[in-house]
Structure 1
Amino acid sequence: MDSLIAASARALAAGDALGALKHVALREDPPALALRGIAMAQLGEHPRARELLRGAARGFGAHEAVFRARCVVAEAEVALALRDVGGSPRALLAAATTLEAHADHANAQHARLIALRRLLLLGRLGEAATALAAIDAGQGMPPSLAALAELGAAELALRSLRTGPARAALQRAHAAALRAGVPALLAEVAEARAALDRPAARRRGPDGTDQTLRLDEVEALLASNALVVDACRRGLSAGAAWQALARRPVLFALAQALAEAWPADVEREDLIANVFRTRHPDETHRARLRVEMGRLRALVKPLARVEATARGFALVPHDHVEVVVLAPPIAGDQAALQALLADGAAWSTSALALALGASQRTVQRALAELQADGRVRAIGQARARRWLAPPLPGFTTALLLPAALPFA
């Protein structure tokens, strides 16, 4: 490795992208192209960074497997920044294996961290926990990578509503970021720590008023014996018991309406008007209401009873515990979509659909509504179109992000 390449690599490791470019800006050899690509990625020029990294990978010969693997890892990180999460992670994991076999442990760990962040972005928390367990954040890991590993551990804990482990991981991430001395990394850790003290949800009162809750307060509420109708995760919980209704929107709407009226009942006409969206009910709507109530009664039987009254239906929790409605920090059916876009990155429709577990057509309709309200904007055309939204200040969206587990 010549002196200019070494100097550029040291500048990149310190987060000085412009300083790195000064050393290799006019060179076209594969190592220089790779460093230029990484520098452009740090400056936010991700499409150009991807071109440079692919050119560098093509330039390395068959005997330079380590350098090609490093290019694959860097390109995977650029793809993550571009929210291009639709491809297979096999190339990244193969690169990690190659780097580990050639004793390049730091870059192998970096590859695994990128795979971990991709899983967290897609809400695959079980797979993310397995990936995190395979990452050794102990001795020998560079401070910058140790900070990223702890950030991943903190996000996994937050998405599982375990604020204590999240705070501990963020404290370790802060210490590692201080040792690394990279300003961007310190800022990322500071933002993650600040999210713990922001409102994360709203507790709906019987009089229609809302009380904002932090994540630790949400965790305490879900751990209590109260029957919680969780509009963030679309389900019902009571202590350790959980009944998911995310794929049964009508049943969840009925449960939420009954919970908001608790301990009183709700008239049949009001339920039909609010859940079935009709102001002129007939016998078919009343029959459907009876059918849906029967389904809801069967699903929530371990947690509560749904009783018929003279004028409608009432929710009666077991053991006479309190019923609480937990609402998202932002209202609207597109709350989860806004939460994903709140990270400031440009998302494609396909990536949003993959992260939300919805069809592209469903996501397109939701984006069209948000765009009409001025809450998102599109850049590019056709397959190159990306969606952006301004950050959502004042609260954290952790409860709205996609997750495979309601809580852990």
Structure 2
Amino acid sequence: MDALITAAGRALSAGDPLGALNRVALRDDAPALALRGIAMAQLGDFARARLLLQRAARTFSAREEMARARCVVAEAEVALASRDLGWPTRRLDSARATLEAHGDLTNAAHARSLEARRLLLLGRLEQAEHALAQLALHSLPPALGAIQALVAAGIALRRLHTAAARTALERAAENARLSGVVALQAEVENAWHALGAPAARLVAQGQERLLLLPEVEALLASKALVVDACRHAVRNGHVAVSLATRPVLFALARLLGEAWPADVPRDALIAGTFRTRFADDSHRIRLRVELGRLRAALGPLAGVCATPRGYVLEPTSATEVVVLARPIEDKHGDVLALLSDGEPWSSSALAMALGASQRNIQRALETLARVGKVQSFGRGRARRWVAPPVPGFTTTLLLPGPLPGGLG
């Protein structure tokens, strides 16, 4: 490899894409094309980066398997950065196997970390954790060590293991400092903000206050009966009942939880659940039916008892009832949560991450765009959506992935 290619590679490793381009911008040989692609990715031009990397992979000869595999790994990284979660992961698996077979363990580890980051975005925490477990931490260079620690912190944050998340972020910060890559240091700093930003609202006995992530973790481990409006569940310690697919039952549970220890009038339950201002006998009959279903669903956690004017929630063993709500509630908060990472997302990637239909996601994006909460650029399959982060709040509880207790 000639001196210019070596110098350009070192510039990219140090996070200096312009310095790399100054050395190889006018060259069209395979190594130069690959370096130009990586440089364009660091500058944010993902479409151009992917074209250059694909061209480089075609230009390398069939005997240069390792170089072609490196191009595939770089293209996978660009796909992840541009939130193309449907990128064919089998190519990445094949490239990683090729790199391992040729002894390029650093780039093979990088491929493994990309796989883990994609799984984390999709909320597949156990699979992401398994991918991380395949990495030999002692042999990783600082930049990869920082990325591995960031993924580990992300998994811990989604599970509300804040002590583990803090330990992982400390390791990420040290590795990012040793790497000297400014962008990586900024990513670690942003992750730290999640630990110190309000993550949810606690609503209890007519009052509410903001909670930090450690406080949310402590609340879920307490003896309180928690009506969790972040994941649409009712939980007490390690026992949890998911109502994510039963919105009427969850709406009733939340109304009863917000009023506890007082009862809720029948007309208020009808208005808040069935979205009607005028209650008739059919609504009252339906209310009794739905409350019976809620009573059966909650099982050993709580009962729903009638009072002269309405109904009250009576926990079986919990000392109190509280509602855990999002810090800022929005009809399409889950979509905004993913977009708030500042990266451009396609509607198909959002649908994959949220487990929803692409058409429903497109409708949500169009609604958010009309009120100025998101913006799009590009056309057709190249269309991407972005949104500014919600200032002062963390979106950890809005992202895909289970909370402690087995909820999915």
Give the TM-score of the pair, scaled to structure 1: 0.96
Q: Cα deviations across residues 255-282 of structure 1 (Å, max 9, x unaligned)?
A: 1011011111112221111111112233
Alignment gaps of 5+ in structure 2: none
8 Å contact 1:232–1:399 — kept in the other structure?
Answer: yes
Change (3 A) 1:182 1:287: same
Once residues 278 and 81 of structure 2 are traced to their aligned partners in structure 1, the CA distance between those partners, rounded to angstroms, is 49
Q: Give the CA RMSD over aligned residues.
A: 1.4
Of 321, 337, 344, which residue of structure 2 is paired with 1:346?
344
Once residues 216 and 26 of structure 1 are traced to their aligned partners in structure 2, the CA distance between those partners, rounded to angstroms, is 52
Q: Which residue of 2 aligns with 1:269?
A: 267
Q: Which residue of 1 aligns with 2:9?
A: 9
8 Å contact 1:177–1:185 — kept in the other structure?
Answer: yes
Once residues 293 and 133 of structure 1 are traced to their aligned partners in structure 2, the CA distance between those partners, rounded to angstroms, is 46
Q: Which residue of 1 aligns with 2:65?
A: 65
The correspondence of residues 4-403 of structure 1 with structure 2, limited to 5 A, is: 4-138=4-138, 140-207=139-206, 209-403=207-401
Task: Give the AA of the match of 2:196.
Answer: D
| Aligned residue pair count | 406
Once residues 177 and 318 of structure 2 are traced to their aligned partners in structure 1, the CA distance between those partners, rounded to angstroms, is 51
* 1:37 CA displacement: 0.2
Task: Give the AA of the match of 1:132.
Answer: L
Once residues 223 and 57 of structure 2 are traced to their aligned partners in structure 1, the CA distance between those partners, rounded to angstroms, is 57
Task: Give the AA of the match of 2:75.
Answer: E
Q: Cα deviations across residues 60-115 of structure 1 (Å, max 9, x unaligned)?
A: 11111111111111001101111110233111111111111111000000001111
Once residues 66 and 146 of structure 1 are traced to their aligned partners in structure 2, the CA distance between those partners, rounded to angstroms, is 22
* 1:320 CA displacement: 4.8
* 1:407 CA displacement: 5.6
- 3-state secondary structure, aligned to 1:119: helix
Q: Cα deviations across residues 287-311 of structure 1 (Å, max 9, x unaligned)?
A: 2222221221111112111112232
* Larger displacement relative to structure 2 (397-406 or 232-241): 397-406
Q: Cα deviations across residues 142-199 of structure 1 (Å, max 9, x unaligned)?
A: 1100010001100000001000000000111111111111111111111111221111
8 Å contact 2:8–2:24 — kept in the other structure?
Answer: yes
8 Å contact 2:238–2:405 — kept in the other structure?
Answer: no
Task: Give the AA of the match of 1:165.
Answer: A
8 Å contact 1:349–1:360 — kept in the other structure?
Answer: yes
The percentage of counterpart residues that share the same residue type is: 60
Change (3 A) 1:8 1:293: same
- 3-state secondary structure, aligned to 1:204: strand
8 Å contact 2:205–2:261 — kept in the other structure?
Answer: no
Q: Cα deviations across residues 196-227 of structure 1 (Å, max 9, x unaligned)?
A: 111111111322x4211110010001010100
- 3-state secondary structure, aligned to 1:319: coil
Task: Give the AA of the match of 2:267.
Answer: E
- 3-state secondary structure, aligned to 2:198: coil
* 1:372 CA displacement: 2.1
Change (3 A) 1:306 1:95: same
* Larger displacement relative to structure 2 (114-123 or 124-133): 124-133
8 Å contact 2:239–2:405 — kept in the other structure?
Answer: no
* 1:25 CA displacement: 0.7
8 Å contact 1:161–1:407 — kept in the other structure?
Answer: no
Give the TM-score of the pair, scaled to structure 2: 0.96
Task: Give the AA of the match of 1:130.
Answer: H
